[in-house]
Amino acid sequence: MNRGLLAQLVILFIITQAMGLAVGDFLINEQIRTSIVNDDPESVDNSLGLIAWVLVFTAMLILVIRFAPEWLLTIILKGIESLTVFGTSIIVLLPTKLADEIILGAAALSVAVRIIFSKNIWLRNASSVVAAAGAGALIGASLGVVAVFVFIVLLAIYDFIAVFKTKHMVQLAKTVTSKNLSFTYALPTPSHQFELGTGDLVMPLVFASSVLAAMQPVHQFPYSIIPSIAVLAASYVGLVLTLDYVSKREGTALPALPPQTILMLLTFGALKLIGF
């Protein structure tokens, strides 16, 4: 793999996961969570509800991409991006305990910067980091390990089908990257600009945050964070293997989540066997 590509991946991964775990730890300790289907973190109904939401939302996006005029498509996608950046910026800033007005102002400024400098890939990456860290931390803090386990497995299966069978995820990714939206990370190299979906960093963070919530009542720091770091390390290996494969076959679409999921679950299972 190109060294520059690997370096970018390492930096983006570490920043996203470190920020996300810090936010997740705050949300867990403050008992801040979101209700998806019901208030039981371990309920599989929440996993099924999330999958249903993903399917419905994706279907709506595909319909808009295929049938909406270009001007309307741009407005809708930019609107979704702005709402995402605004909401996740608020989540990421919660641990600072700044005044609400300052947090809201900073979140609004983040949106404004994205709109004004919409073509800048580095600002796009920064927004993607915040979006992934905020979303991953909140979902992970809201779901128990069993619920996350079910959700990630179902999402990995869906990801495989969406890329290799229906191929609609490829179409969606091309549309998102063509408009430089904060739903992917840009990894430019001298020969090619690679794109990495934020979901490939969100889902490991969801699992790691959920594991952290499960470990804190039974293990003191730093032991409580070891399983989360191990899960993230496993997901990183899956990500590197995927990106290495794709980097040698430009133009090939390959979902990273399936191998990430397998490695994360195997790692977590091994940790449980040794006493965590």
Q: To which residue do tokens 């996961």 refer?
A: 17
The encoded tokens of residue 128 equal: 């993607």
Instruction: Give the chain's mean pLDDT.
Output: 90
HSE toward the beta carbon, residue 185, CA cutoff 13 A: 25
pLDDT of 252: 67
Helices (H), 30-96: 44-67, 70-93
Q: Are 179 and 77 in contact (CB under 8 A)?
A: yes
pLDDT value at 47 more than 80:
yes
The reported pLDDT for the residue numbered 256 is 85
Q: Is pLDDT at 1 greater than 80 in this prediction?
A: no
pLDDT digit string (tens) for 147-165?
999 999 999 999 888 888 8
The pLDDT, as a whole number, for residue 180 is 83
Torsion over CA: 253, 84, 4, 21 (sign): negative
Residue predicted with more confidence, 263 or 5 = 263
**Structure confidence at residue 114 (pLDDT):** 92
What pLDDT, in 10s, does the model give residues 83-117?
Answer: 999 999 999 999 999 999 999 999 999 999 999 99
- Cα dihedral: 239, 240, 244, 249 (round 10): 10
Q: What is the pLDDT of residue 250?
A: 66
Q: What is the pLDDT of residue 94?
A: 95
User: What would the pLDDT profile of 210-264 be if each residue is shown by its tens digit?
Assistant: 999 999 888 888 888 999 999 999 999 999 988 888 777 666 667 888 999 999 9
> What pLDDT score was predicted for residue 220?
84
pLDDT at 81: 92
pLDDT at 243: 82
Lowest-confidence range among 25-34, 49-58, 103-112, 216-225? 216-225
Are the CB atoms for 134 and 91 separated by under 8 Å? yes
Q: What is the pTM of this model?
A: 0.91
